[in-house]
Amino acid sequence: MSDILTIADLKDLARRRVPKMFFDYADSGAWTESTYRANEEDFQKIKFRQRVLVDMSNRSLESTMIGQKVSMPVALAPTGLTGMQHADGEMLAAQAAEEFGVPFTLSTMSICSIEDVASVTKKPFWFQLYVLRDKDFVLNLIDRAKAAKCSALVLTLDLQVLGQRHKDVRNGLSAPPKMTLANIANIAVRPGWWMGMAGTKRRTFRNIVGHAKGVGDVASLSSWTTEQFDPHLSWKDVAWIKERWGGKLILKGILDKEDALLAANTGADAIIVSNHGGRQLDGASSSIMALEEIADAVGDRIEVHMDGGIRSGQDVLKALCLGAKGTYIGRPFLYGLGALGKEGVTKALEIIRKEMDITLALCGKRLVTDMGRDQLRR
Ligand SMILES: Cc1cc2nc3c(=O)[nH]c(=O)nc-3n(C[C@H](O)[C@H](O)[C@H](O)COP(=O)(O)O)c2cc1C
Ligand SMILES: O=C(O)C(=O)c1ccccc1
């Protein structure tokens, strides 16, 4: 563990421990992956101002996201199939986040169900909703998230059609995965992973199987999921979901200022400036480059969050400087989970916290909430 100092170290270890098809699923973007790469690379173009001889004692990373206290403004992003990076992955990641004091967001497309995660956590977590064609099933998900006392609904808007990630096609990643010789050989040499999987009953999309009509077993899943994404969605759907949910609502997948203004009109509590980690529209702008314009356009009308490409505490601070009140990490916690299970998720959060704390000090600030545009050199 002592040799793990960066998120990249966790990624290297995950690559060795997680079967290729699932590691690649996490580590891939749509088509040429240009947006996936830009998400990370564009952070490097932004530089801090270094300040000296100011009081750097008693620093604090505490903040709030949608009015909820967080030990640092870094939530775990919703990610599908998280329980395939490590057995019971969503339950472990939720526990790590809870202990750390940051929000965990459970995906509709998770392996562990809403009820599974609720059974191993004490504090409320957030639930991410895909609005699928089967509206009865969508209502069922909303009601189950309410029953589990989820404290925010994250409504994802950028997956009306599914972007293509070539690696998934090449690896035969479907539900259930194609058991080619290459996949079997790959799993065989990762005993830690498959022993974990053999020891849990949670190996399929448990929010869906047994809940959605026509999905009684795993065999029917693949065609069901691809058919269910709904190209008809409109802003009117946001209104009925907001009404039915009745709690805090976060709209995820905004990358354009016109859309940000429409989102602000819905009365939602926050938007997430996001391109789905470069997994949807290849060729779209990086999230960090879209952030400032969107933050300027909406002003104080709605809280602005962002995700995409955050690989260090420095990246988090840059996003805060450019107008985000909160951020999310996707792959960094997945790498931690694949590398070391729950401990690895905690490790990812600790790495980011330490980088944030030292950077904050060297920028001459004590409070993370004081980071603004004047902390950047432009
Ligand atoms: C493997 C994987 C699965 C994802 N699944 C979902 C999902 O089910 N729902 C969703 O809203 N976003 C999903 N996302 C997008 C993330 O919520 C988030 O926007 C993205 O990962 C942020 O970029 P980062 O991975 O560079 O931190 C997924 C991302 C990854 C990497
Ligand atoms: O992989 C994803 O990014 C995602 O959101 C998703 C979509 C369909 C099924 C599972 C996950």
Q: Taking the CA of residue 131 as centre, how many other CA atoms within 13 Å lie in the half-sphere pointing to its CB?
A: 24
Dist. CA 13–CA 142, nearest whole Å: 36
* pLDDT score, position 175: 78
* pLDDT, tens digit (0-9, with 9 covering 90-100), for 145-159: 999 999 999 999 999
What does the pLDDT average to over 168-194? 93
**Residue holding tokens 């530089």?**
47
* pLDDT score, position 174: 82
**Which atom of ligand 2 approaches the CA of 162 most closely?**
7
330 lines ligand 2 (CB under 6 A): no
pLDDT at 300 over 90: yes
From 262, 265, 319, 317, select the one nearest 290 (Cα to Cα).
Answer: 319
Tokens of residue 83, six digits: 């329980």
What does the pLDDT average to over 358-366? 97
Decide if 334 contacts 341 (C-beta within 8 A).
no
pLDDT band of residue 222 (cuts 50, 70, 90) is confident
What does the pLDDT average to over 67-82? 98
Q: Nearest residue CA, atom 20 of ligand 1?
A: 277
* pLDDT score, position 223: 83
Tokens of residue 201, six digits: 């009953």
ipTM of the modeled complex: 0.99
Partners of 60 in the β-ladder: 367
* pLDDT, tens digit (0-9, with 9 covering 90-100), for 93-132: 999 999 999 999 999 999 999 999 999 999 999 999 999 9
> What's the 79 CA to ligand 1 centre distance in angstroms?
5
Global pTM reads 0.98
* pLDDT score, position 362: 97
173: left (phi over 0), alpha (psi -120 to 50) or beta: beta
* pLDDT score, position 239: 97
> What's the 76 CA to ligand 1 centre distance in angstroms?
10
* pLDDT score, position 343: 98
Dist. CA 320–CA 75, nearest whole Å: 13
Residue 291 CA: distances (Å) to CA of 74, 264, 315, 364: 16, 15, 13, 24
pLDDT at 66 over 90: yes
